[in-house]
Structure 1
Amino acid sequence: MIKPRSTQSPPTLTLKRPTGTPMNETGSPHRAAADWSIARRGDSITDFLTDGSIVRLCAALDEITPARFHLLDADGMEVVPAQSPDDPEPWTVRPIRDLPDGEDVIRAPILLGDRPIGAFVVVPDGSVPTGKRCLLRVVGEQLASLSAEFCTEASQMRTRIRELEALFRLSALLTTQADTIDQILRTALALSLDVLGLDAGSIVLFPEDARGIREAVPEVDSEAEVVTRASINLSERWLSSTLPLSAGRVFDRLVLEGHTLAIPDLLTDPRVLAPERCEREGLRSFLSAALMHREQPIGVIRVYGRDVRTFSVEDQRLLRSIGEQAAVAVAQSRLIETEQREREMERQVQLASAVQRRMMPRDLPEIPGLDVAARSEPSRRLGGDLYDLFEFTGGSLAMVIGDVVGKGLPAALLMSAVRAGLRAHAASTDTLERLVSRVNNDLCRDSLPNEFTTLWVGAVDPATRVLTYCPAGHEPPLLIRPARPREPLTRHDVSSLCIGGLVIGINPDEPYKTMKIDLRPGDVLVAYTDGVTDARNFQNEKWGWDRLADAAVGALNQHPEAGASMVLDSILWSLRRFVGLSPQVDDETLIVLRVLPE
């Protein structure tokens, strides 16, 4: 019987009579132990023998024919039945004895493809007539042909086994989330060298943002943009060179187009850019395949042999399969790394959001005669709206509301800087125009021209009820003042404060001016950001200034003595009913101030 067996280093077939063979400790000829891990191709008939039936057939033919049948292995050793039942195999090898030379000796080589892996040698007796000698030749050649057929089938099965096992070992990486890209690629490279019987190699990756072959492999004689992520048995001089193996990187383009590149001898291929470099490194044969994932180039696997070698179709198919599996593993590893970065970013955003919430005033100032409420609801975890309430010069109540350009983390950082500047300068400034001007100077100095902020700052003196305010490009607050006591409010009772001033962060020399208005008992002031009035429903209608005014008026008509917090809640409830389930697209911030009756 013949089936795949152990492997040895490739010998050279010879029919010369050998002088001996290595012996093991038991005195039997030494041979490699069976290894089913990933078997390389068989190079001798002994790599395919199992129960010794073909050896016994030779012995039987010796008995029934007028000739001696000898089975030789690739080293020219004779394969004979085992002499002792204690031998590990039912057959053994020994130096052939008394093999005559001459035309009468029939030699029938056993070929695996074009490689001889053994031979049948038939030595007829001297009395055999010519006709029977021809018959013996046919028998010997048929035995060799039949053995070659079995060995070929066994070799093909062995090839498929090593391919499947290699791919199984590599596909296991896809389920190992702990492996980094470098670990995956080094394992894939070592596996390729092992199963193909090659000596050196590397795997290079293209930039992750490369889209298409042209971006991944420009037609230049430089590989400066590629990164070698795995290498085995290549010198630092070879790896550090940016010179590609082929002129214009034609080899890489070929494999990315779907070809598997096989070069028997790098020193004679005219496409090789610097053959002397390959000779200095000791590289002769070359095999390369692409790492592609979803039609996007990821990299290239390159493996080398120290000797000239013609690669089989099976070799090329195996490397291409390994490249495909490695590409999937790299893509998955990159996805895992991206998810880890996103989780870490989400954690950082959560921490930043908590810090931002702590920066908002938790305890509102209690000023006699004034009732105030405020709320901010960011559209994302981090918002760009700001508000603040604190005591200002002379015990007045300072109110600040603003809107930083943009959204998300950049807007949140800018908002924090503006709020910190307001608090810092408020302690040493006695007027609102100076306060806004200093914050504007800070922002112009520390930010880009497209990083600006709308701002409205007001201060109410509780003794005189005078509201002094300084607008800087922000929406003017609403003032609700009953025109006729004890009568329901209408929209005619709602007005906007004056607009003025340029947004801060644009012009450091911008002059900011303050305005004043006398507040009366029962007045309600509503300051807001554009996220409130710009909110939209499913019909894409804006909530707008009119609906904001109607919501505030409706709250006061329903509860004439409502405090600032109740008015604010009622406005937000009206806004939510209008928007419905439409997503919030901008930060929404409100400050409501009510002047209490005397």
Structure 2
Amino acid sequence: RIAYESRVADLRAVLQLSRELGASTELMPLLQKVESAALTVLGCERATVFVYDDATNELYSSVATGVDEIRFGADQGIAGEAVRTGEVIHVPDAYADDRFNPDIDRKTGFRTRNMITIPLIGIDAKIVGVLQVLNKTSGQFDAWDHELVRTFGAQVGVALQRQLLLEHYAEKQRIEHDLSIARDIQQGLIPSRPAEIAGFEVAGWNKPADETGGDCYDYFERDDGSLAVTIADATGHGIGPALVIAECRALFRASVAMSRDLGEITARVNDLLCDDLPDDRFVTAFLGLLDPERGALSYLSAGHGPLFRYTRASDTIEELPANGFPLGIMPNADWPAPEDFVLAPGDLFVVVTDGFFECLNADRQQLGTQRLTDLIRALRDRPCRDIIAGMHDAVLNWVGDAPQDDDLTALVIRKT
């Protein structure tokens, strides 16, 4: 009779725990409830939940141990065997079992005598963790403890999976919110109105592959009436390159405000980026100055090319190479003299990032610069924005249903 009433009380305690776990909204309090309830219901000295991290194939816990987070491979020790087999494992003498790893005891000062280890399984039969109950206070774990820990573990597995899914969703929402803010900030760096400079028509456009991009364009008027125009392309795309590009834009703006010497400006930006960027990062960039009095364009291209120059008089297009190397690679470098030429009415100068000509079709073939050259020539009499739209349409038609895998940025200049 006493044993029966004790078991009923145990099951009621498990049922009460199930209700409490269903109301839990955070992982750490949930784990604390589980471990605290296990001490009472199972009559043990310690209980530990190890959560399974499927991204790293590790088990981790920090609640019961009282030390910094403990992590180990999900194929190690008794807990690892429970993950592998999906079976409850009873160890009556821990230190006599070769599978037992005493490292946690050494770290915590705890002495494990006996244990039951049970895999925690979600509603889709997926392993979400492991529960270990250690040192039965009345001696050894018995058959009833086995049944009770199975029932206990089934409730915990479902609750833990639910909580992990909730936290994953919340983290995803937070990341999406942060990316949305980053995207809004980055889009705020793009010029909000058309460039105004006598004798020229200028249009720019940007479409990142992700929420944020690693390309940008910019134009702004200097005090002397000239117009600075830039395009920059950081390696990769996403939030990291987006931060690099934001820095690059700020450096160009600050440097152009202090000097008209393109070599000096580029050298300053390059040296600062060399200080900030890791070894595997760099930026290709185009920096130009439009002079309305001369009707001229001066530019330096730091590893950014090819550039496309259409000449009305000869009705021809040239592909011009970069005349410098990428930024952020070599500090204290010598820069070549800028290119400088006068544009005649109808002449075009087109700068794009490599997402245009390196885009791939279903056969893994690139659009290439020749097709882009032919398209620019075909659209040479259209407004600058129409030329950009035509190039974008060409990319869309070329790649078909494939997702955009690189940022697209274009800058088109026409002498009017």
Q: Do they superpose with TM above 0.5?
A: yes
Aligned partner letter, 1:301: Q
Mean CA deviation greater in 290-299 or 414-423: 290-299
Out of 53, 59, 66, the residue aligned to residue 208 of structure 1 is 53
**1:524 pairs with 2:348:** yes
Aligned-residue offset at 1:516: 1.4
- Of residues 152, 157, 163, the one that matches 1:327 is 157
Counterpart of 2:210 in structure 1 is 380
Counterpart for residue 152 of structure 1: none
Question: How far apart are the structure 2 equivalents of 1:283 and 1:564?
Answer: 76
Per the alignment, residue 72 of structure 2 pairs with none
Q: CA shift at 1:189, angstroms?
A: 3.8
Q: For residues 236-269 of structure 1, what are the alpha-carbon distances to aligned partners after superposition, in whole Å with 9 as ceiling and x for unaligned?
A: xxx6699xxxxxx976567565343264xx79x8
Aligned pair partner of 1:302 in 133, 137, 142: 133
**Where in structure 2 are there 5+ consecutive unaligned residues?**
70-75
1:509 CA drift (Å): 1.8
Q: Is the 8 A contact 1:551 1:571 kept in 2?
A: yes
Matches within 5 A, 1:36-435: 39-41=5-7, 163=11, 168-172=15-19, 175-176=22-23, 178-196=24-42, 198=43, 200-205=45-50, 208=53, 227-230=61-64, 252=79, 258-261=87-90, 263=92, 286-293=114-121, 298-308=129-139, 311-392=141-222, 394-435=224-265
Q: Within 2, Cα distance between the matches of 1:260 and 1:525?
A: 73
1:502 aligns with 2:325: yes
Tell me which amino acid in the other structure corresponds to 1:544: G
Residue 194 of structure 1: how far off its partner (Å): 4.6
Give the equivalent residue in structure 2 for 1:54: none
The alpha carbon displacement at 1:195 in A equals 4.3
2-structure distance, mates of 1:376, 1:328: 46
Partner of 1:546: 370
The question of whether the paired residues in 1 share the 8 Å contact of 2:183 and 2:211 is answered with yes
Give, in whole Å, the separation in 1 of the partners of 2:13 and 2:366: 62
User: 2:145 & 2:30 partners in 1: Cα distance?
Assistant: 21
Instruction: Tell me whether 1:511 sits opposite 2:357 in the alignment.
Output: no
Distance 1:424 1:392 in 2: 11
1:535 aligns with 2:359: yes
Per-residue CA deviation, residues 549-577 of structure 1 (Å, 9 max, x unaligned), is 22222223xxx3x3222322233233323
Deviations 1:500-552 (A, max 9, x none): 21101011122112111221111011111101111223333322112212222
Matching residue of 2:73: none
Q: Separation in 2 of the partners of 1:186 and 1:466?
A: 71
Letter in 1 for 2:219: L
TM-score (norm 2): 0.83
State the one-letter code of the partner of 1:291: P
Distance in structure 2 (CA, Å) of the matches to 1:273 and 1:568: 64
Q: Is the 8 A contact 2:117 2:130 kept in 1?
A: no
Cα deviation code 1:339-395 (max 9, x no counterpart): 212211111110011010111111233111111111001111101112111124632
In the TM superposition, residue 321 of structure 1 has moved relative to its aligned partner by: 3.3
Going from structure 1 to structure 2, the CA distance change for 1:331 and 1:282 (only over 3 Å counts) comes to closer
Q: Secondary structure, in 3 states, of the residue corresponding to 2:239?
A: helix
Distance (whole Å) between structure 2 residues aligned to residue 210 and residue 575 of structure 1: 35
1:124-155 Cα offsets, whole Å, 9 max, x none, are xxxxxxxxxxxxxxxxxxxxxxxxxxxxxxxx
With 384-393 and 320-329 compared, the bigger mean Cα shift is at: 320-329
1 CA distance for matches of 2:404 and 2:172?
Answer: 23
Which secondary structure does the structure 2 equivalent of 1:471 belong to?
strand
- Counterpart contact for 1:478–1:526, Cα < 8 Å: yes
Question: In the aligned structure 2, how far is the partner of 1:282 from the partner of 1:174?
Answer: 27
Alignment partners' CA distance in 1, 2:308 and 2:13: 74
CA contact (8 A) 1:182 1:230 kept: no
Deviations 1:445-479 (A, max 9, x none): 12212221001111121121222111110013211
Change beyond 3 A, Cα 1:270–1:480: closer
Cα distance in structure 1, aligned partners of 2:91 and 2:220: 77
What is the CA–CA distance in structure 2 between the aligned matches of 1:480 and 1:537, rounded to whole Å? 27
CA distance in 1, matches of 2:116, 2:231: 63
Write the distance in 1 (CA, Å) between the matches of 2:112 and 2:282: 64
Q: Given that residues 365 and 389 in structure 1 are in contact (C-alpha distance below 8 angstroms), is that contact kept between their aligned partners in structure 2?
A: yes
> How many Å separate the matches in 2 of 1:578 and 1:550?
14
What is the CA–CA distance in structure 1 between the aligned matches of 2:151 and 2:219, rounded to whole Å?
Answer: 66
Contact preservation (8 Å) 2:62, 2:68: no
1:402-458, CA deviations, whole angstroms, 9 ceiling, x for partnerless residues? 210111010000000000000011111121111111100110112212221001111
Distance 1:375 1:40, change over 3 A: same
Counterpart secondary structure, 2:359 = coil
Of all paired residues, the percent bearing the same amino acid is 26
Q: Deviations over 1:284-313 (max 9, x none)?
A: 98542223446757333215443335x432
The one-letter code sitting in structure 2 at the alignment partner of 1:563 is P
- 3-state SS of the aligned residue for 2:118? strand
Q: Structure 1 residues 402, 210: closer, same or farther in 2, change over 3 A?
A: closer
d(CA) in 1 for partners of 2:364 and 2:110? 71
Larger radius of gyration between Structure 1 and Structure 2: 1
Q: TM-score, normalised by structure 1?
A: 0.59
Query: What secondary structure does 2:63 align onto?
Result: strand
Task: Go from structure 1 to structure 2 and tell me whether the alpha carbon gap of 1:477 and 1:250 turns closer, same or farther (over 3 Å shift).
Answer: closer
2:302 aligns with: 472
Q: Which moved more, 1:281-290 or 1:433-442?
A: 281-290
Distance change (3 Å), C-alpha of 1:182 and 1:386: closer
Query: Cα deviations across residues 66-88 of structure 1 (Å, max 9, x unaligned)?
Result: xxxxxxxxxxxxxxxxxxxxxxx
Structure 2: how far apart are the matches of 1:366 and 1:210?
A: 52
Offset at residue 192 of structure 1 (A)? 3.8
Q: Distance in 1 between matches of 2:68 and 2:308?
A: 70
User: For residue 391 of structure 2, what is the aligned residue in structure 1?
Assistant: 571
**Is the counterpart of residue 583 in structure 1 residue 403 in structure 2?**
yes
Q: Work out the number of aligned pairs and report it.
A: 397
Amino acid at match of 2:387: V
Q: Amino acid of the residue matched to residue 187 of structure 1?
A: K
Conserved 8 A contact 2:38-2:133: no
Amino acid at match of 1:408: G
Distance 1:576 1:211 in 2: 37
1:552–1:241: structure 2 CA closer, same or farther, 3 Å change rule?
A: closer
